[in-house]
A and B are shown apart, each in its own frame.
Chain A
Amino acid sequence: MTVSLGGRLEGSVLPSPVLDISGLRISYLDQNGPRTAVHGIDFSVFPGEVVALVGESGSGKSSTAQAIIGLLPENGRLESGNIRLNRLEIAGWSQKRLDGIRGSVISLVPQDPGNSLNPVRTIGKQVAEILVIHGKASGAAADARAIELLERVGLNQPALRAKQYPHELSGGMKQRVLIAIAIALKPSLIIADEPTSALDVTVQKHILDLIDELRREFGTAVLLVTHDLGVAADRADRLIVLKQGRIQEQGPTTNILTNPQSAYTHRLLADAPSLNVRQRRVAAVAKAEHGKAGDDIIVVEGLVQDFGRGGKDKGLRALDNVSFRVRRGTTHALVGESGSGKTTTIRSVAAFQKPTAGKVIVDGLDLSAPPRETLRLLRKKIQLVYQNPFGSLDPRQTIAGIVEEPLLNFEPIARAKRAEIVASTIEKVGLPLDVLQRRPHALSGGQRQRVAIARALVLNPQILILDEAVSALDVTVQAQILSLLDTLQRDLGLTYLFVSHDLAVVRQISDTVSVLNGGKIVESGVVEDVFEHPQSAYTRELIDAIPGKKHPLHASRSTLTNSGNI
């Protein structure tokens, strides 16, 4: 780690900040006129320092980052305030003037590596471009330098990569390319805007390590914008906590984590799954054992799923001999990185596809060779809740219509009775009844996810498949939804099949877990056992990659829970 700010403050001379923000106000023009997103914030970033801007959606963290680099969306406006970059006031600069410093003095590592490279230009050209734009190199020299940079960020076969197109690289590789671009001209400040939120947890760790390493090598300061307190806790020297465009508090990371001053930070810390190994509502071990032995509502045995075009094409084996059992009334989590087969598994359990081989038995119904009637019965037993609460609700239907729809697909129920069922379901998920006549766009992300849960519950299913159902939500909302799921499970005796890439959340909500890698189950068992004593190297790697390990409280709390379990 670099010298902490605390260390620097004790020194006699305070170095001048790389970035000094004061009174920054940003507003957006939408249908209802101007709306202020950032209400006059002040902070500084010193040379070589990592400062994290943390906050939930709508906190203004991304707006702040965009304003600094002069790339606010078209309807965004920098109302007032100063942005000093190396003591140079750039707040009022024209785009043309900013072009001179963007990329050379200040650069960006973007959020979504998948869409942040031009799909029709080669990797090499896109890296070389930054050198050409700033007149540092051209032609063959720029291409050669691009290959060096690609090598520097840890890409194997850099010369080959330079000739490839973005779609030929994985997400992590693309993010390395983007980092190569960001460091090409050794800027004094890198803005990393959620640099790893689209990546798998092990890749996330490697990318953050790389940023850390390069920062140290070049003495570059990093402004890390993130919603993930675990990441911020691990990587930042100082934290700035934003809420609705105002700074709640800022200071050295350790101070804020151990002794938060504002109530908001308190709650944020309490809700962040990666920073807490919370006491479970019912100890998982106990619950898993108390359930009637043999009462397994989901039995998957030797499941094999091939995808292919048939013929001589060998196709792809997405699942290979997957077996697990879920006891009634418990939560089983499927974890793994993208491409591990989580989604394929739940699609088989929901009978959206026919297994190539193996058995899937859901509450006594054998889905390996399901007759039509079995499928209809199954649809009432098993329901899905998807990740994206914005995409999974029809924007033109009212909430009442959305929740009612599943009822219309089965035996007819009188209109009044339907309305009654819908209303009681909406109450179950903790929404006020007046949402019924509204449409999805009028609701927040958390409310929409409650509606999606209500829609799943309206048929009185026994199993809910939760496909990354809390991954798109802010931590405080996530905590609320998780606790709602908890209550519903207890009240209704539901069984959850919980699919997530977020191990911290999995640890919090599930009783048992299966770890998938490359279509095979590498490990499964009771959550505490798997997390505390992982047997396979892959599980260990996954668990090690969970951010938040450096949180000073983490160690102590974790021991606490351990002793509690013993």
Chain B
Amino acid sequence: MARYIFSRVGQALLVLWAAFTISFVLLQAMPGDAVLIKFQNPEYGLNAVQIAEIRAAYDADGSVVLQYVHTIGNFLTGDFGYSLQAGVAVSAQLAANLPSTIRLAGLAFAAAALLAVIIAVLSNLPGLGRLRSFIQSLPSLFVSIPTFWLGIMLIQIFSFRLRLVPVINPGEWEGLILPVLTIALPVSAPMAQILLRNIDEVLTRPFVSVARAKGASHTFVLWRHVAKNALLPVLTVAGVLFGELLAGAVITETVFGLNGIGSLAEQAVNFQDVAVLQAIVVISAAAFVTINLAVDLLYPVLDPRLKAKLGGVA
């Protein structure tokens, strides 16, 4: 077991390092840099020599290897550098924007999971007839809706037509309703699909017949025997979907004009603010890796078969 945890944490660190390195290389490979973009602006009225001095001050001239070592050292000590555009520490920007994104992503993820379970429960209610196949087709519908379009449509319908949710100066939580829905719908779809398929598959297993032969009702069997077996594979997918959630947040924050990591990333891209981008990539990768690590570590707790296998290794 200890060996398992150790190897999984090691893998997670490796992924983080790779994400950092690849993003560093890609960002370095881009033509121009943030210093040029900011100070070449004629309004500053700087000449080439002055710009070169500023570049040297920002350490934008040093060798790539040196910069790499420098940056990775700084990251390890929690120093993400300075945003050229805003002129403040990147860590301060992250501190300002991270909580709202975490809140959005967290709520969206919870909503997605809830939606998936609701779809699964609804489609397994007895006596549904035709309605069942309609409910079962919902996930395919959800998964094919693009996030930006969904956001705009939700604003159109609920804010402008029905006037249910204000878009201009909404309350703190009220303003989250539509963005959360926008992200949750497409994320819930794969979860619901896998859950539905798993439930159908688990229902055909012999142990379900055995449970029915004990006199257990269909509902009892669903909750006591099928649910846990069907949920296990969903857990793996949930980890991967979390990445999609982060991508969804960038678009959704832009569409709804929310502050957060997404809008920060959008600005940083516009201005080639390398330090900010680098920090966002690493933060996203860290979030992704942490969630998947948590899933990996949770699995043996939930599935006794895995625990036995790992116990054998340790």
Contacts and interface: CB of A to CB of B under 8 A. Distances in A.
Interface of A: 69, 71, 95-96, 99-104, 107-108, 110-112, 115-121, 129-130, 133-134, 165, 167-168, 178, 181
B305 A167 contact: yes
B214 A167 contact: no
B206 A102 contact: no
Contacts of B59: none
Interface residues of B, number: 24
Contact of B206 (A96, A100, A110, A134): A110
Given A115-B207, A116-B206, A116-B207, A108 B304 contact: no
A120 B304 contact: yes
Contact of A115 (B205, B218, B232): B205
B304 A167 contact: yes
Given A134-B215, A165-B308, 13 more contacts: A71-B212, A99-B215, A102-B213, A110-B210, A116-B206, A116-B207, A118-B207, A120-B304, A133-B215, A133-B216, A165-B304, A167-B305, A168-B308
B209 A110 contact: yes
Interface in B198-238: 205-207, 209-218, 220, 224-225, 228-229, 232
Contacts of A116: 206-207, 209-210
B215 A100 contact: yes
B155 to A, nearest CB: 43
Contacts of B210: 108, 110, 116-117, 178, 181
A168 B228 CA distance: 19
A441 B164 CA distance: 57
A439 B265 CA distance: 56
A428 B68 CA distance: 71
B64 interface: no
A374 to B, nearest CB: 37
A130 B215 CA distance: 7
Nearest to A130: B214
A108 B205 CA distance: 15
B303 interface: yes
Contact of B225 (A95, A107, A121, A168): A121
Contacts of A133: 214-216, 220
A120 B299 CA distance: 12
Nearest to B225: A118
B214 A129 contact: yes
A95 B220 CA distance: 13
Of B213, B302, B303, which is in contact with the most chain A CB atoms at under 10 Å from its CB?
B213
B275 to A, nearest CB: 45
Contacts of A121: 224-225, 228
Q: Which has the most chain A C-beta neighbours within 10 Å: B206, B224, B305?
A: B206
Nearest to B232: A120
Contacts of A134: 215
18 contacts: A99-B216, A101-B215, A103-B213, A103-B215, A110-B206, A110-B210, A111-B206, A115-B206, A116-B209, A117-B207, A117-B210, A120-B232, A120-B302, A120-B304, A121-B224, A121-B228, A129-B216, A167-B308
B139 to A, nearest CB: 22
Nearest to B229: A120
Contacts of A117: 207, 210
Residue of B205, B209, B232 contacting most chain A CB atoms (<10 Å): B209
A71 to B, nearest CB: 6
Contacts of A107: 213-214
Contacts of A96: 217
Contacts of A120: 228-229, 232, 302-305
Nearest to A103: B215
Contact of B212 (A100, A102, A104): A102
A116 B213 CA distance: 11
Contacts of A71: 209, 212-213
Contacts of A118: 207, 211, 225, 229
A370 to B, nearest CB: 33
Contacts of A167: 304-305, 308
Contacts of B209: 71, 108, 110, 116
Contacts of B214: 102-103, 107, 129-130, 133, 181
Contacts of B217: 95-96, 99
B302 to A, nearest CB: 7
Contact of B229 (A69, A102, A103, A119): A119
Contacts of B224: 121, 129
A116 B211 CA distance: 9
Contact of B305 (A100, A111, A119): A119
A120 B229 CA distance: 7
A24 to B, nearest CB: 19
Contacts of A111: 206
Interface in B41-72: none
Nearest to B209: A71
A296 to B, nearest CB: 40
B159 to A, nearest CB: 45
A101 B206 CA distance: 20
B206 A69 contact: no
A129 to B, nearest CB: 6
A119 B304 contact: yes
A69 B213 contact: yes
A102 B302 CA distance: 30
Interface string B231-270: 0100000000000000000000000000000000000000
B216 A112 contact: no
Contacts of A104: 215
